[in-house]
Amino acid sequence: MSQDKSNDNAFPKQQQDLPGSQSDQHPKPEVLPKEYPNGKLAGKVAVITGADSGIGQAVAILFAKEGADIVASYLCEDEDASFTKKHVEGYGRRCLLVASDLSVEDNCKALIEKAVNEFGKIDILVNNARMQIEQDSLTDISTEQFDKTVHTNFYPHFWLSKFALPYLSKGGSIINTTSITAYRGSDHLIDYAATKGAILSFTRALANNLSGSDKGIRVNGVAPGPIWTPLIVASFTPDEVAKFGKSSPMGRAGQPNEVAPAYLYLASDDASYVTGQVIHVNGGEIVGG
């Protein structure tokens, strides 16, 4: 059985000779694995955006496998969203599908309200929905494109987190999808990279803001590298698709189910001492920050 946490964060004064004896330490360090007999997310409710395909879909299905009920938000891809629902329910969990354009503030508020009305609470918020449009030059990016990219990629992180905060349960978790482009940029996805940088800073700032909260809400991010999702074939040329991911140190693109476990870790109590951090799942590229 796992050891109980002490409610007292202060350690009594004590000192030992090197190398130290754990058996004489008070309180003793908690070293036994945490146990999850019904799954790492048993009884949890997760709101996941962009959950109809790719990373969001893989996260929704994995969370359900680990015991969570899912609110799966998506734009308009009903067939893909039905696949998510089928597999979530295949694990005996409930799945509420919500088709919505989250670039509109009122829709973000409505999504949170639907989640609370359906399940009574929110334990996990995964901000994942995004879009990208390639342009060779900054001068090719219109104000309309820039606004659409920002409103699709960044604003929902702000709005959904804001609207979800009053309903997030104690120990709740917000997980934001940033990107490797937030760290190294992208010469053909300038506006996209800018939004991912904003998400990175937002994640760190919100984590700092909430770190002293009595509710113990943690805020973290995942920064995927090249991952094989519908966004790739919808935004890159056929020649780019053919070589997608080959420039990574591992020489290939990743799959959504190779990224999803990072979200599971951050959502679960395994990451109870982790906030303001970003997990890099990018095939081996070393990035700063």
Decide if 124 is inside a domain: yes
What's the pLDDT at 79? Answer: 95
Q: What is the CATH number of the domain that holds 261?
A: 3.40.50.720
DSSP 124: E
Is residue 12 assigned to a domain?
no
* Cα atoms in the 13 Å half-sphere on the side-chain side of 45: 19
* Band of pLDDT at residue 7, cut at 50, 70 and 90: very low
pLDDT of residue 6: 41
Distances (CA, A) of 221 to 55, 200, 276: 13, 7, 8
Q: What is the mean pLDDT of residues 133-162?
A: 96
Residues 168, 67, 87: CA angle, nearest 5 degrees? 110
pLDDT at 4: 42
Taking the C-alpha atoms of residue 41 and residue 7, their distance in angstroms, rounded to an integer, is 23
Say if 28 falls within a structural domain: no
Question: For residues 256 and 224, what is the distance between their CA atoms, to the nearest angstrom?
Answer: 9
Range of the domain at 135: 39-281
Beginning with the edge strand found earlier in the chain, give each strand of the sheet holding 95-99 in spatial order: 95-99, 69-74, 45-49, 122-127, 168-177, 218-224, 278-281
| pLDDT of amino acid 231 | 79
Strands (E), 79-197: 95-99, 122-127, 168-177
Looking at every residue in the chain, the average pLDDT score rounds to 94
Q: Percent of the chain, pLDDT > 90?
A: 87
Q: Given a cut of 80, is residue 287 above it in pLDDT?
A: yes
**3 domain residue, yes or no:** no
Instruction: Kindly state the average pLDDT of the residues 202-225.
Output: 95
Nearest to 62 by CA among 222, 180, 198: 222
- pLDDT tens-digit profile of 65-103? 999 999 999 999 999 999 999 999 999 999 999 999 999
pLDDT of residue 224: 96
Evaluate if residue 278 carries a pLDDT over 50.
yes
Q: pLDDT over 70 for what percent of the chain?
A: 97
pLDDT class of 230 with cuts at 50, 70, 90: confident
Chain segment 155-199, per-residue pLDDT in tens? 999 999 999 999 999 999 999 999 999 999 999 999 999 999 999
- Tell me whether residue 55 is in a domain: yes
What is the pLDDT, as a whole number, of residue 289? 62
| Domain count across the chain | 1
Q: What is the pLDDT of residue 229?
A: 86
Q: Which of 74, 183, 192, 263 is catalytic?
A: 192
Angle at 182 between CA 212 and CA 234, to 5 degrees: 120
157, part of any domain: yes
Report pLDDT digits (tens) over 29-70.
999 999 999 999 999 999 999 999 999 999 999 999 999 999
Residue 24 lies in a domain: no
- Mean pLDDT for 138-148 is 97
Centre a 10 Å sphere on the Cβ of residue 65 and count the other Cβ atoms it contains: 19
Note whether residue 96 is domain-resident: yes
* Residue 233: per-residue pLDDT: 84
Bigger pLDDT: 8 or 73?
A: 73
273 an active-site residue? no
